[in-house]
Amino acid sequence: MKANEKETIRSFLAIELDESLVPPILDVQGDFKKTDTKIKYVPAENMHFTLKFFGNIDEDIVEDISGAVEKIIKNYSSFELKIENCGCFPNQKVIKVLWLGIDKDSKITDLQKELDKEFKKLGFKKERNYISHLTIGRVKSPKNKNEIRDVIEKNKNIKIGSMTVNRVCLKKSTLTPQGPIYENIRVFDLE
């Protein structure tokens, strides 16, 4: 790296998954693993709810992002989040991402919208169709899509459980051949 070049960080803002919910989520992944399909599963330690993906950012802007997060989360106290339902993006014909959803009354949607307004002031693009979800796998081949659809149908109304959201994390993502490695840059506590 040249002396005048700034280091960039691949980063995102997220809510971490409560470890108590991992076993029932692994059960859902297990249902997909019984199919004859090519799916790359998200390891439990990497599961999270993304509030904003920033991409590659200069280290300099971390303080600005942190200030925006602190400004918004002071209006939020910890809240319950229910994980339920199973689905896919973009749709059942072209399945690329397998996910578990959240209850429609969750505060996470309002939190994300308010954060997004602040991030737009910093020059980040506004999220168009934000849908909070927990990615559990990425489909790598269209082979045997019907089997994937059957598992989605079986789990479409599943109730995984609930967790208390009491912090938001600004994370660094380092891409490796084995998969991404996430580490916290900043942690913001909800009162």
- CA pair distance 112, 68, nearest whole angstrom: 12
- 35 belongs to the catalytic site: no
- CA pair distance 60, 69, nearest whole angstrom: 16
Judging by DSSP bridges, how do beta strands 39-41 and 134-139 pair with one another? antiparallel
Which of 32, 39, 48, 72 is catalytic? The answer is 48
Residue type, 81: L
Residue 4's CB is within 10 A of a number of other CB atoms, namely: 5
- 63 belongs to the catalytic site: no
Which of 52, 88, 133, 169 is catalytic? The answer is 133
- CA pair distance 113, 109, nearest whole angstrom: 6
User: Are 167 and 187 within 8 A, CB to CB?
Assistant: yes
Secondary structure class of 116 (helix, strand, coil): helix
Catalytic amino acids?
48, 133
